[in-house]
């Protein structure tokens, strides 16, 4: 039941977002090339925008995966935390400490620098 109402919210909002665009766009003519060309501050494009692109921050995204996995364990941990008491603090503290070493190492290696 709850998921059904959530689905209704999703469909209503998605529908409203598309309905605001769709009828208005149908009757519009295609603009000329000078407007359709990608804006480059006066320059003309000599390649497709969907080129190969070096994402300089990709090591950071790898580090994120480690933390995302940790987050997966953290949800059930949070629910039983008070019940388990100090043992839970210790366990997650150790886990976080190990991951923090990863952050320090990544920082030293310049993973978060973006150039």
Partner 1 sequence: MMAWAAMVLTFLALAVGGYAVAVADRLIAGACGWPHQGNAWLAPLARGAWLYRQDANVTEAPDRPAWRLAPALYLALAALGLALVPWSPTLVVADLATGVVLWGSLEALATVAIFLHGWSANAPLALIGGYRYVALGLSYILVSMFVLIGVVLPAESLKFSQVVAAQEELWNVVRQPLGLPLFLIVGLGLTFWGPLNLADSTDLAGGTASEVSGPPRLVWEIARVAMLVAFSGIAATAFLGGWLGPWLPGPLWLALKMLAVLLALAWLGRVLPRLAPERCVTLMWVVLLPLSFVDLIWAGLEAL
Residue 102 vs residues 3, 65, 96, 107: alpha-carbon distances, Å: 38, 12, 10, 8
Each residue 8-37 as x (binds partner 1 by CB under 8 A) or -, in order, gives xxx-xxx-xxx-xxx-xx--xxxx-x-xxx
At 40 the three-state DSSP class reads coil
Using CB under 8 A, which of 80, 94, 98, 101 touches partner 1? 80
Dihedrals phi, psi of 14, to nearest 5 degrees = -65, -45
The number of beta carbons lying within 10 Å of the beta carbon of residue 74 is 15
Residues of this chain that bind partner 1 (CB under 8 A): 1-3, 5-6, 8-10, 12-14, 16-18, 20-22, 24-25, 28-31, 33, 35-41, 45, 48-50, 53, 55, 57, 60-61, 63-64, 67-68, 71, 74-75, 78-83, 85-86, 88-89, 92-93, 96, 100, 103, 106-107, 112-115
């Amino acid at each position: 039941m709850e998921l059904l109402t959530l689905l209704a919210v999703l469909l209503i909002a998605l529908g409203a977002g598309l309905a605001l665009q769709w009828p208005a766009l149908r009757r519009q003519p295609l603009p000329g090339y000078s407007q359709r060309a990608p804006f480059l501050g006066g320059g003309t494009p000599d390649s497709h925008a969907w080129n190969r692109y070096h994402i300089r921050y990709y090591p950071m995204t790898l580090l994120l995966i480690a933390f995302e996995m940790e987050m997966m364990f953290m949800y059930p941990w949070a629910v039983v935390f008070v019940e388990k008491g100090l043992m839970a603090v210790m366990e997650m503290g150790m886990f976080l400490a190990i991951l923090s070493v990863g952050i320090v190492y990544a920082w030293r290696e310049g993973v978060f620098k973006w150039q």
